[in-house]
Amino acid sequence: MKFLSVLRKPAIIKRKNSVAATEISESNSSRSNSSSTSPRIPSTPVSLAQSTNSSINQINFQEISEDVILSSIPMMKIITSQIDKTYYESDNEINWICTVPEQEDRRIMKIALIGTNIFLDLEDQTRTSISIIKKFSMESNLILLEDSINFIEPEVRISSSSSGNDITILQKFIALSIFEHFAVYKSLTGSLISSIGLRMPDINMILNSQFNFKDWCDIYIPEEGWVRSWCHINKMSKRSDKYDPKGKYQIKFYRTNKSNSPNSTTNLICYIPDSNHVQDIFFYNGEANEQTPIANPTNFLNNIKLVKLIGDVLYPEETPSLRSTSTSSSITKQLISPKRDVSTKAVKPSKSSNFKTHKDGLLIRPIPHHGLSHFDAMIKFIIPMMDITRKYGRPKQFNASINESNSLMFGLPKLPNTNYLKQSEINQLIRDTPMEDVTNDEIFSYSMNWIGNFLKETYQTDLERAS
């Protein structure tokens, strides 16, 4: 599968698609005209410009071309398969116990892990469904302990009084379901960057930009919800790995687009330095869909509005309230200010500004504005982030290999197969591969790394799989 091969040499894109690029430019003349005459600052964010809601909606949900849908079909089929896939189902020999605060313990007659949901059939004939992944949350909805699995919402604890490693087995299947759920979104990201990038007239500039990236977005803070922020991403040179120290390049999120001091943290919400661990970055659909992706591909793709980062994010120890008491008009005036004085220098913790590391990652929602469509905004955001974190071959050429772990396409099954691991490999994983103890904010990152390393080993030992 060659989803990203076309983006390895940007110069070829222009030559091969010069006619298509011209047609696109002519069919979208209004967009090109507005971009050529508009000021260099981004337009007012959507939520703060009520008068332009109708036009923004048209920008946000431009019709997705047929070739984009067709290139995404394999991943959507896999996602559809995963929704109904039974990873684990208990038998009657295991004595599972369900514990809920202020209630008597009840015996669990059956446990089933289907997709990323756990179903509990209790002895009183009630059935409970609990999601492993909380909506709009960076961390998982469970805590894995040696003798139990504790869910956060709702507050439920499941344990086993039987001898054996029943809890460990279930935990391993949970890790596998998390890996497959996110891994296919990584491959879908590669497909969308490739198919939509071909139609973007400035894709060469995005891939080879010599400038820092700056734009508005929303980020999700658990205590606050969605927070409007000004994102600043340092330009990463293709030779930076060799000559620049780690920590120099950062992804920073500010409350406004102005900062009084180059190293000030009073305006800083959080940041991601290239010296810290980032497991993965990919496009994500955080909505609960009534229809499967394959039943309504256009609706599914239109709901992919998030960039999900799994890894370390640094927050100031003392962060003022992120919500401003300013009026809507004053906020709007601030957001469209032509002064963009946010520091291009790296954030350096001092004695008076300590940072705490959250290992659960970050959800980013890029904002489409005039001249920049929904997926255009997503692609322009995610590529500089991949550059900073040195993911998937960036800032050099994209790595599109299926058998290399540092690739968006890593392990992608070939239809009609929709499983990342063979049954014999799953048996080996459950039987012989130990799991480490992890906190709930590390479960996503650990699952991606643990299963990823196992899958990498299978490619190295199974020549038939690698072919």
Closest CA to 71 of 297, 305, 341: 297
Strand partners, 357: 314
Closest CA to 202 of 347, 82, 371: 371
Q: How far apart are CA 179 and CA 419, in angstroms?
A: 11
Q: What is the per-residue DSSP string for 232-246?
A: EEPPPPTTHHHHS-T
For the chain, helix (H) and strand (E) counts, in that order, are 14, 17
- Structure confidence by residue, pLDDT tens digits, 366-402: 998 777 778 999 999 999 999 999 999 999 999 999 9
Position 222 scores a pLDDT of 81
**At residue 38, what is the residue type?**
S
Q: Which domains does the chain have, with CATH numbers?
A: 1-16+38-83+167-467 (no CATH), 86-166 (2.30.29)
- Structure confidence by residue, pLDDT tens digits, 60-91: 445 788 899 999 999 999 999 999 999 999 98
Position 16 scores a pLDDT of 37
Position 263 scores a pLDDT of 53
Question: Is 430:422 a contact under the CB 8 Å cutoff?
Answer: no
Q: Helix (H, G, I), strand (E, B), or coil: what is residue 88?
A: strand
Position 259 scores a pLDDT of 52
Closest CA to 10 of 194, 187, 188, 214: 194
Within the chain, which residues score under 70 in pLDDT? 1-62, 137, 236-247, 258-265, 289, 318-353, 466-467
Q: Does an H or E element contain 11, and which?
A: helix 10-16
Q: How far apart are CA 209 and CA 287, in angstroms?
A: 32
